[in-house]
Structures are given as structure tokens and as C-alpha cells.
Amino acid sequence: MKEANIPANPVATSSHALDRRVFFALAFTLVVWASAFSAIRLCLQSGAYSPGHLGLLRFLVASCTMLIYCAFFKVRLPEKRDIPTFILLGFLGVAVYHTALNFGQVTVGAGAASFLISTAPVFTALLATFFLGERLRLWGWLGIGLSLTGIFIIAVGKTDHLEFDPNALLIVLSAFVASIHMIINKGVLKRYSALESTTYSILCGTVFLLIFSPGLWQAIQHAPPKVTLAAMYIGVFPAALAYVSWAYTLSRLPASQTASYLYVTPGLSILIAWGWLGEKPTALTLLGGMLALLGVIIVNLLGKVR
């Protein structure tokens, strides 16, 4: 995932079967995206990398990975008229999204962060209502209310008692920015494949992250090898390879069906964080997360006027 971004795919297929290859591609994507939150948390807790350095290192690795992919598969260059749009997509979907997410995860646990990011479709529904003329049913507004309630509970439920964590708002900002990114990307994907759009967005976004370049080389030299490997992991796998497997899954299954599987990502994130980092979720985090996720499901399944 971009931890919780849902890319579209214009390719329609007639087969809806979850065969073995599709199953493994989907499972790989979900597990890798879910693991990204723990890997980010590990890097930040070590103190070896600042949130800015981590974001830049991750997307330098991701950019190199995507360039290698483009060289092998001869991905076409973007048209000049679309370059400003890709610059905007990179700024929002890479620079702002991941900077806010990294700074937020300094204090917010991996499981809680995954729940907060999963609310992006709710913000997308709100933006589509105001800017694209789409309509929501009463169920849709109820789902939005549930998700916002869940967000509030997560923000004040860092421990088993009420304690507001302002960094949770940075992760909510990431979810909101992801929703804007999806609205803009909707038009771009009519002319470009999902892989092309993501490649150009990653490259443009990495340029913005170069603002964090001072001190990065020194940080790499002094960081424990396992931490640097974790940073490279989130660049190669969640930011690049998992996107390829996601695109393959989308080419075999309807987008709506494929996107529904993303609802398991927060649960996977909690299990991975528990096993990898020893982060046991609080009761309030679980309650808020379930409400936020329930709201997203209601908005997507019952809330939109068909």
C-alpha cells in the first residue's frame, strides 16, 4: 500500500475467479502493505533515521526499483501536458502523504496507523460529493460519522486511558491527502496504465523529498544494518513490488472486488506489529479501529447512490 492508497486499473476482465496465481499475488500485496507500518515504526524507534530521512531513503530505493522495471518493460514517457499533473500527484501521494505518515508514526503505533489510513475512502467519498457531484445515501453519512468517531477514539486512546495524541492527526492528514490523490488520479488513469501513473508519481515525489537530503548519508553510515535493511525493504516491497502484484490482481479481478480485500490490512498490521515489535493494541485502539473500518465498509457498500 501506498499503505492504504487504492489504485485503479482501466483493464476489464471477464474472469472473477481467485485462482492460485491471483491468490498469491493478492496475499503478497496485503501482507507486504500491512508490514510497512511496522517497518516504518522500527526505523523511527531506533532513532537512526529521522522521519524525513526515512521517507527520502525509502523513495530513492523505490525510484531505482521502478526505473529498472521501466528499462526492462519499456514504459512509455508521459506527454508534456500531463507532467504538471504527475508533479502534483507526486507531491501529494508521495511527499506529503509519507512525510505526514512518518512524523505521525513517531508516537502512533503501527496497528493504529493502519486503521487511520484505512479511512481514506471515507474522505474520498466526501470529496467526490462536493467536487464530483456524487451523492451519498443516509447510510453513507452514517458510515462517515462512524469512521470519524473511530478516528477520535484512536487519537485519544494511545493507552488504555484517554490521552490525546496530536500525531494521530498527521496520519489522518495522510489519509485525507490520499483521498485527494485518488480523485486527481481518477482522470489520469483514463490515459495511462496504473503502473505508468505510479512510476511517474514516485519519481516526481522523490524530487520533493530531496529537501531532507542534508545529513542522509551520515545517517546511513551510522544506522544499524537491520534498520537500513528495513528502510530499503519498504522502498522495494511496499512501494514498488507490491504495486506490481496489486496491478496484476486488478487485471484479473474487478476493482471493487479487489479493493474489498484491503479491509483485512489493519488486522494484518496489528498481528505483524504484535509479533515483530511487541506492540499489543489497546482496547481503545481496537474499538476505534473497528468503528473506523465499519464506517468505511458502510460507505462503500451501502452509502453511495448507484
Number of domains in the chain: 1
What amino acid is encoded at 248 in this protein?
Answer: Y
Is the pLDDT at 18 greater than 70? The verdict is: no
Report how far residue 92's alpha carbon sits from residue 83's, in angstroms, rounded to the nearest whole number. Answer: 14
Is the pLDDT at 8 greater than 50? The verdict is: no
1 in any annotated domain: no
14 in any annotated domain: no
pLDDT reported for residue 4: 44
Work out the mean pLDDT of the chain and round it to a whole number. 84
171 in any annotated domain: yes
Grid coordinates standing for 187? 482522470
pLDDT reported for residue 200: 92
Is the pLDDT at 16 greater than 60? The verdict is: no
Report how far residue 56's alpha carbon sits from residue 52's, in angstroms, rounded to the nearest whole number. Answer: 6
Confidence grade of residue 10 (pLDDT, cut at 50, 70, 90)? very low
Q: Give the tens place of pLDDT for each residue, 203-253.
A: 999 999 999 999 999 999 999 999 999 999 999 999 888 877 877 777 677
Residue 168, domain extent = 25-301
Most confident of 24-38, 113-127, 279-293: 24-38
18 in any annotated domain: no
